[in-house]
Structure 1
């Protein structure tokens, strides 16, 4: 019995490590262009509003395809599906080498987002089915942090790489990274099959069950988290460049620190759920994020104060990701269903927020300034904290019991 449990633990850990690596590759590739936006503005002579269009349409692709992938992934080999997504990402990263202007950049981003639509519904559902209880929260935090690690590496290295090897060389280097991950995924993760959680449901009972498993609160929380994180990653380096007069490497260094603290925030919440209920931590995280984004907007002209407030934002807003997924997983467990379809819808909620706020930030900043965009984000985070409090109230006292090992 002990050896069987050890084998299961080893298998679960291998899945966790590979899915986490996939998350790093997926998110790092997605934000590679974002880390170079200050350069893109000058190199391709595009406006901040056009940057907003690129951001919004890229996320729109995820909105459309993540639920499709989530539906298709049930009962299929997650390793192969993840490898397919990574392969498309590799091709898209190479396509940036041949970009000549706004339209070609947009085409490459659309292809990139097609590939990135595989990870969240497939990878996160795989983790959810491999762990339970406090270990689920820790695992969600771990893999979420690796997504941040991938983005961190991109923001730290992209500008120096551009200065060293130019535009084409930068994207060739990152294409090699994604290709290596494809090989690792096919080698160590392929051959598993996702449990089909909906097999026992009849067609007539399926649709009501699906509606019941995604309460509006989770969609709203995903919208706010995804939108806030996207605005910061896509526009903070531009904002710091104009307000604090920093070059792209300096601005990216501050954004990298934001991402590092985001990784810490995603991991740290795993241990806290033993003492504080997941939904309470979620509400607190949104309220802290609201205050810190507002402070960042006010103090963005001072590099030191902007850095401090952005670090707090990174910690708090990133914590909402694993907390939301864990709270959803707990809810799905309480109604007797676990589904990649549900996680795909939640991921789409995050990308809807990223798409809408990305486009809005580009438009608003073009005419009113980015400080207005960041101010709106602060208000939305406040809405997230209040809505989480109402969710706690609706779930009753039983939802206030912390996870116990």
Structure 2
């Protein structure tokens, strides 16, 4: 069966608006810190709280997704996130802001378990790598637009404006997505057991738990503490601080778009290894070099982070049985959120402990990515053997 491009496009639009809505906070984090009066430790606490709420929602929705048509179930979460983004603008203090952001992140718990598993059901083989890279690049573009609009609108108009903008665009995405897949209901999934056997599921994807967690850790540290580095260490204005990290995301989006070609030419696993090595160098450069060189390192070597996402998405999709893919993605990306929450909080504590040092989070990034590189080298032979054993379980559509 030929891949349905409308399904891929609708899914990708949802990914774009979802990721933009949750990234506007990072784009204007320096504005929020000034207006609501909080510092490094509170920044880490805010990010960790948002991610942990998303984690709980993601696991719950991942289990339910196995019994739902994703083309109808996913828009519910996107619409909820859009409506909740409007509510966030009512915050008048840091505690209220944290609470409202947490409420909104329930909606953000839909996309990864429902949207990514939808792609995993619909595509296989090289089509899977292409589809994963395509939707991932749309998600990255959403992060770019969310980061950039948050930085520019937040500093020029007020921090509420980006939340209002992307709340409205999420609702518009639901209307467009439903139109695109009208008359294209996903086939009902095979009957699944009433209780998911998480033990075998985690064994299937065990080699990818650490890379997924590291991906969440690095992204959340750079996106939330990158603007702080640019403003507090180098003295740049709020808009420049946010836009500079948005440009890192732009470079990453381009890299993710070409993941399918990179995977076909060099191999998926080799691509992952090189990505983690480059990320280690980028973290060190951002921490110790002057602004032009620090940003150049992030925009080049640092963009390798975004290649790791479609690579690991593809491995997880191949390792999990189709009837459990919603649960698989709900659980496995829970580790991504846990990694992000732990690293963001640790980055805030480290930055504060070293005299409000904005470079400290990037030493953490370098250490984490270096550990990831060593880990991938250590498990390479076992992963390749495991991959050969499960390759025949890849769904044929």
Normalised by the length of structure 1, the TM-score is 0.89
- Quote the Cα distance in structure 2 between the aligned partners of 1:398 and 1:220: 16
Normalised by the length of structure 2, the TM-score is 0.91
* 1:133 Cα offset (Å): 1.0
Which residue is equivalent to 1:281? 271
Instruction: Tell me the SS of whatever aligns to 2:159.
Output: helix
Instruction: Give the 3 Å change call, closer, same or farther, for CA 169–382 of structure 1 in structure 2.
Output: closer
Answer whether contact 1:56 1:354 (CA < 8 A) is retained: yes
Q: What pairs with 1:16-55 in structure 2 (closer than 5 Å)?
A: 16-55=8-47
Question: Which residue among 219, 225, 244 is the counterpart of 1:229?
Answer: 219
Q: What pairs with 1:246-395 in structure 2 (closer than 5 Å)?
A: 246-299=236-289, 302-332=290-320, 339-368=325-354, 369-395=357-383
1:71 aligns with 2:63: yes
Which deviates more from structure 2 when the two are superposed, residues 158-167 or residues 176-185?
158-167
- Quote the Cα distance in structure 2 between the aligned partners of 1:286 and 1:91: 37
1:185 aligns with 2:171: no
1:104 aligns with 2:96: yes
Which deviates more from structure 2 when the two are superposed, residues 51-60 or residues 290-299?
290-299
- Quote the Cα distance in structure 1 between the aligned partners of 2:263 and 2:292: 32
Answer whether contact 2:317 2:325 (CA < 8 A) is retained: no
Instruction: Give the 3 Å change call, closer, same or farther, for CA 352–397 of structure 1 in structure 2.
Output: closer
* 1:209 Cα offset (Å): 3.1
Answer whether contact 2:66 2:324 (CA < 8 A) is retained: no
Instruction: Give the 3 Å change call, closer, same or farther, for CA 391–36 of structure 1 in structure 2.
Output: same
Answer whether contact 1:73 1:194 (CA < 8 A) is retained: no
Answer whether contact 1:63 1:348 (CA < 8 A) is retained: yes
* 1:156 Cα offset (Å): 2.0
Answer whether contact 1:161 1:170 (CA < 8 A) is retained: yes
- Quote the Cα distance in structure 2 between the aligned partners of 1:244 and 1:273: 37
- Quote the Cα distance in structure 1 between the aligned partners of 2:336 and 2:384: 26
Deviations 1:68-109 (A, max 9, x none): 111100131212221111122112211122110111111121
- Quote the Cα distance in structure 1 between the aligned partners of 2:156 and 2:320: 49
Instruction: Tell me the SS of whatever aligns to 1:129.
Output: helix
Answer whether contact 1:75 1:193 (CA < 8 A) is retained: no
Deviations 1:38-71 (A, max 9, x none): 1111111112211111100000012212111111
Unpaired runs of 5+ in structure 1?
none
Q: How many residues align?
A: 387
Which residue is equivalent to 2:395? none
- Quote the Cα distance in structure 2 between the aligned partners of 1:122 and 1:324: 16
* 1:270 Cα offset (Å): 0.8
Instruction: Give the 3 Å change call, closer, same or farther, for CA 398–109 of structure 1 in structure 2.
Output: closer
Instruction: Give the 3 Å change call, closer, same or farther, for CA 370–194 of structure 1 in structure 2.
Output: farther
Which residue is equivalent to 1:214? 205
1:56 aligns with 2:48: yes
CA RMSD of aligned residues (A): 2.3
* 1:379 Cα offset (Å): 1.1
- Quote the Cα distance in structure 2 between the aligned partners of 1:320 and 1:361: 21
1:156 aligns with 2:144: no
Deviations 1:194-216 (A, max 9, x none): 653563x696x94553233221x
- Quote the Cα distance in structure 2 between the aligned partners of 1:265 and 1:228: 16
* 1:397 Cα offset (Å): 6.3
* 1:341 Cα offset (Å): 1.1
Answer whether contact 2:141 2:250 (CA < 8 A) is retained: yes
Answer whether contact 2:27 2:147 (CA < 8 A) is retained: yes
Instruction: Tell me the SS of whatever aligns to 1:98.
Output: coil
Unpaired runs of 5+ in structure 2?
392-397
Answer whether contact 1:27 1:151 (CA < 8 A) is retained: yes
Question: Which residue among 131, 138, 142 is the counterpart of 2:134?
Answer: 142
- Quote the Cα distance in structure 1 between the aligned partners of 2:384 and 2:308: 21
1:196 aligns with 2:179: no
- Quote the Cα distance in structure 1 between the aligned partners of 2:82 and 2:359: 35
Q: What pairs with 1:8-19 in structure 2 (closer than 5 Å)?
A: 8-9=2-3, 12-19=4-11
